């Protein structure tokens, strides 16, 4: 005889495993990190190039501000178009899947059984699960989209968030090598040292965020920044030697 427990007497289920995951769907973190590091490397390279060519404090400050504005808006526009295009592509593929579910329900259910079997589920359980899932069109669409496209249609990144994060982060990164000149210090080495410190801190923080050793990310970011700034500095020295930047201009 089947004995049921009254609802109020049933013990509550508590999940013994309590943990949370960070957002890895590509919302704001990726464009923010990319924007900050790009802003820092881009502007310190510009400043190193113009400074190496003998540019004045005014010329370096003007170049840096122009690079900040142009880069920040360019990054924001690129992120907005990129994320929007990706979301539109996903939406088109989801619409195609929605059409197939509405017009070829049996074939889609059989396909779902195959997906579940590929994950190691037994034939009987896969068929039962596929039948139950297929009885709910929204759930079926979500499962098919995840299995076939690798996305959750309800959790797509926002192009506005990505663009805003990229713009602000690029501006923050780009302002760092400009600070000495904005405060009246006409010394390239001060801007380079400040940028190197920012690269170490920024690269290390990103490494810790991804559970990697601090110094691994710090040294990687520093090496990339030194390489970029070194190349543009040498270009500036070479071009400056051709008198394209007369002293005092």
The string of pLDDT tens digits covering residues 145-164 is 888 888 888 888 899 999 99
Find, among 14, 55, 46, 57, the residue nearest to 183 by Cα.
57
Helix (H, G, I), strand (E, B) or coil at 185: coil
Q: Is residue 12 part of a domain?
A: no
pLDDT at 8 exceeding the cut of 60: no
Q: What pLDDT band is residue 232 in, cutting at 50, 70 and 90?
A: very high
Check whether 24 has a pLDDT greater than 90: no
Residue 12 has pLDDT above 80, yes or no: no
Distance between CA atoms of residues 220 and 214, nearest Å:
10
List the domain range (segments joined by +) for residue 191.
Answer: 28-240
Alpha carbon distance 183, 154 (integer Å): 47
Among 157, 183, 208, 163, residue whose Cα is nearest residue 64: 183
Task: Please tell me the number of Cα atoms within 13 Å of 249 on its side-chain side.
Answer: 9
The answer to whether residue 224 is domain-embedded is yes
Residue 113 lies in a domain: yes
pLDDT value at residue 53: 87
Whole-number percent of the chain with pLDDT over 90: 42
Q: In the chain, how many domains are there? A: 1
For residue 94, what are the contacts with CB-CB under 8 A and spacing of at least 6?
141, 145, 149, 153
Q: Is residue 34 part of a domain?
A: yes
CA angle 116, 121, 125 (to 5 degrees): 90
Dist. CA 170–CA 163, nearest whole Å? 11
Q: Is the pLDDT of residue 203 over 70?
A: yes
The half-sphere exposure of 172 on its side-chain side, counting CA atoms within 13 A, is 16
Per-residue pLDDT tens digits for 43-85:
999 999 999 888 888 999 999 999 999 999 999 999 999 999 9
**Per the domain annotation, does 172 fall within a domain?**
yes
- Once rounded to an integer, what is the mean pLDDT over residues 221-235? 94
pLDDT digits over 97-118, tens only?
Answer: 889 888 888 898 888 889 888 8
Mean pLDDT score across all residues of the chain: 84
Residue 248 lies in a domain: no
Q: What is the pLDDT of residue 22?
A: 53
Given a contact cutoff of 8 angstroms between Cβ atoms, the answer to whether 144 and 112 are in contact is yes
pLDDT digits (tens, 9 = 90+) for 25-36: 556 777 888 889
Q: What's the pLDDT tens digit per position in 125-138?
A: 989 988 888 888 88
Q: Residue 4: which pLDDT band, with cuts at 50, 70 and 90?
A: very low
Domain assignment of residue 16, yes or no: no
Tell whether 103 is covered by a domain. Answer: yes
Rounded to a whole number of angstroms, the distance between the first and last alpha carbons of the chain is 97
- pLDDT band of residue 5 (cuts 50, 70, 90) is very low
Higher pLDDT: 88 or 22? It is 88
């Amino acid at each position: 005889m089947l004995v049921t427990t009254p609802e109020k007497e049933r013990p509550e289920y508590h999940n013994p495993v309590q943990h949370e995951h960070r957002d890895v769907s590509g919302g704001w973190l990726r464009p923010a990190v990319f924007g900050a590091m790009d802003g820092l490397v881009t502007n310190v390279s510009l400043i190193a190039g113009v400074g190496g060519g003998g540019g004045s404090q005014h010329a370096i400050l003007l170049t840096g501000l122009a690079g900040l504005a142009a880069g920040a808006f360019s990054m924001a526009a690129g992120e907005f178009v990129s994320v929007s295009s990706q979301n539109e592509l996903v939406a088109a593929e989801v619409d195609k899947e929605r059409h197939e579910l509405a017009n070829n329900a049996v074939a889609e259910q059989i396909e779902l059984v195959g997906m579940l079997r590929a994950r190691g589920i037994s034939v009987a359980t896969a068929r039962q699960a596929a039948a139950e899932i297929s009885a709910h069109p929204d759930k079926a669409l979500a499962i098919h989209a995840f299995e076939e496209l690798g996305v959750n249609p309800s959790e797509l990144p926002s192009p506005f968030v990505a663009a805003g994060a990229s713009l602000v982060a690029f501006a923050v990164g780009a302002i760092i090598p400009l600070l000495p000149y904005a405060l009246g210090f006409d010394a390239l080495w001060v801007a380079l040292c400040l940028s190197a410190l920012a690269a170490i801190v920024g690269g290390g923080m990103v490494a810790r965020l991804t559970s990697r050793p601090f110094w691994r990310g710090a040294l990687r970011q520093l090496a990339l920044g030194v390489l970029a700034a070194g190349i543009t500095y040498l270009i500036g020295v070479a071009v400056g030697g051709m008198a394209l930047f007369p002293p005092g201009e």
